[in-house]
Amino acid sequence: MSGKIKNMGVVGFGLVMGLLIFTASAGAKELTGNEILEKEEANRPDAEIMISEMSIVHKSGAKRIRKIKIWMKGDDYTLVRFLSPANLKGTGFLSVKDDDWLYLPALRKVRRIAGKEKGKSFMGSDFSYEDVGTDSLVDKYDAKLLGIDKYEERDCYILELVPKDTKAAIYSKQKRWVDKARFNQMKTEYYDKHGDLLKVMYLSEVEEIEGFWLSKRMEMQNVQKGSKTVIVEKEVKMNPKLPDEMFTTRQLERK
């Protein structure tokens, strides 16, 4: 009888341990691509004001420098204003959800950026209007987890982003490296409509600012043209109060 009890105890202990192992493995279940993308988008403040330097470097090595100020609020609002050089001062770009506008002071006119134009160069840079505009990637792309690998000595999720609306999309897909611990974007490859690599964006000088892991340097390389654009953040203000009313075409026309 005691042997039976002992055996039952062993079996019971084995069942308990099995359940514990199963529970632990279930708790450690890997995130899906879409869940990772959602966490990356959550790693952003509600609002930001930034002053940055933009350097546009031609294939020949010729360089043009611009100074810009950016106001961002959530996933819906972005306002960009050029502070220098003199011939671009006052030029503005506004993105509200999926609508974009450009203001050129010389023409004193606001022009809407049509959907087919969103893939064009933003003010001569290697960024497109869509790259600069405000949009939730979760709403526009389906993300698939390809694997986990090292990048710049950090463990990163590697995601493949495929547009939900292939006709409206300017890229056939994106390949994205997201820091596994911090959920900040580290690198992104952009593929053109033919499936060929078009551009690569590298994000560096990552800092924790008020609880958010943010990159202070972005470099977009156009591998097909041999040019690149570097944006370096000089000043940043986190979570300022930005009313929706400032993200209007009327505000865009103000100097």
Tens-digit pLDDT profile for residues 145-161: 999 999 999 999 999 99
End-to-end CA distance of the chain: 92
Instruction: Give the separation between CA 252 and CA 255, rounded to whole angstroms.
Output: 8
The confidence score (pLDDT) of residue 1 equals: 53
Q: Homologous superfamily of 33-252 in CATH?
A: Lipoprotein localisation LolA/LolB/LppX (2.50.20.10)
Contact, 113 vs 100, CB < 8 A? yes
Sequence letter at residue 245: E
Q: Which two tokens stand for residue 247?
A: 């993200």
Average pLDDT taken over every residue of the chain: 90
pLDDT per position as a tens digit, 5-43: 444 444 444 544 454 444 444 445 789 999 999 999 999
Q: Within 10 A of 104 (CB to CB), how many other CB atoms are there?
A: 14
Residues 91, 83: contact at Cβ < 8 Å?
A: no
CB 163 within 8 A of CB 191: no
**What is the model's pLDDT at position 6?**
47
Report d(CA 33, CA 144) in Å as an integer: 4
pLDDT in tens, 78-124: 999 999 999 999 999 999 988 999 999 988 899 999 988 999 999 99
pLDDT of residue 255: 65
Distant-in-sequence, close-in-space partners of 101: CB < 8 Å, separation ≥ 6: 93, 94, 95, 110, 111, 112, 113, 249, 252
Percent of all residues in the chain with a pLDDT value above 90, rounded to a whole number: 79
pLDDT in tens, 142-198: 999 999 999 999 999 999 999 999 988 999 999 999 999 999 999 999 999 999 999
- Is the bond into 105 cis (omega within 30 degrees of 0)? no
> pTM value?
0.86
Closest by CA to 247, choosing from 70, 66, 127, is 70
